[in-house]
Amino acid sequence: MSQLQDDDDIIGPFVRHLGVQFDEVGPDKVVATWTARPELHQPYGIVHGGVHCSVIETLASVGAAYWMAEQNPEGKVVGVNNNTDFYRAVREGTLTSTATPLHRGRSQQVWLVETMDADGRLAARGQVRLQNLS
C-alpha cells in the first residue's frame, strides 16, 4: 500500500492534489480517506461535485486495475462511464470512500463507490463502468 502512495505512475499529481490516502487496496475492495478543504470547494463553500466524481473514479480504477492484473498482467482498464449522485453537502472534515465490484467480466467491470462523512453519513455514491483492455 505504501508503494501505491509513492507511485506517481499509478497515482499521479492530480490524485495527490485531491489528497487521497489509500488505506486498503486490493482486487475486491479499495478504501481511502481524504479531507474536504477550501481548495476543493465550489463557490458556495462545499466540496465540488467534480471532486467527488474524481475520487470515485480513482478508487474504482485502482480496484479494477488490481483485479485486471490478476487476470492478465499485461491488461489495463479505462473508465467509460461515471455516474455519481450527491446526497450531503460537505464543507470540511475527513471523508472515507469505499469501492467494491458489482460486476467483473471479460470486457468490462462495474464498481460501486460510497463516500461517507466523518459522522458515517452518505455524502456521495457513484458507479463506474470500466473497459478491460488486453
Range of the domain at 57: 2-133
Residue 39: Cβ-neighbour burial (10 angstroms; 0-12, 13-18, 19+): exposed
Report how many domains make up the chain: 1
- Digit-coded pLDDT (tens) for 38-71: 999 999 999 999 999 999 999 999 999 999 999 9
**How far is 34 from 17, CA to CA, in rounded Å?**
10
Residue 58: CATH number of its domain = 3.10.129.10
* Closest to 63 in 3D by CA, of 13, 17, 115, 10: 10
Q: What is the pTM of this model?
A: 0.93
